[in-house]
Homo-oligomer: A and B are copies of this chain.
Amino acid sequence: MDPLNIIGFAAAFLTTISSLPQVIKTIKLKETKDISFWMWTFLALGIFLWLIYGILKKDFPIILANGISLLLILIVLGLKIKFK
């Protein structure tokens, strides 16, 4: 695998799993006052569109990365609504 692809995979991996620490923190803390509802709403919409983009282009890495991202983002958004 060439260096460019390694950088791309590392970038995709980090951005995809980045919401996981927020999910864990919010489940433990049960508080979401400091978290922006609109940030997570824009992010969910944007990642949903990336997922649609990947499906239309039949691009499996885009589908996989954004599918996992969207799941984590929707969990944070759900927790934000639950613990507001």
Task: Give the interface of A toward B (CB within 8 A).
Answer: 4, 7-8, 10-22, 24-26, 29, 31-40, 42-43, 45-47, 49-50, 52-53, 56-57
Contacts and interface: CB of A to CB of B under 8 A. Distances in A.
**Copies of the chain in the assembly:** 2
Contacts of A15: 42-43, 46-47, 50
B25 A43 contact: no
A36 B46 contact: no
A37 B18 CA distance: 10
A51 to B, nearest CB: 9
Given A21-B36, A34-B32, A36-B21, A13 B53 contact: no
Given A34-B31, A36-B22, A8 B53 contact: yes
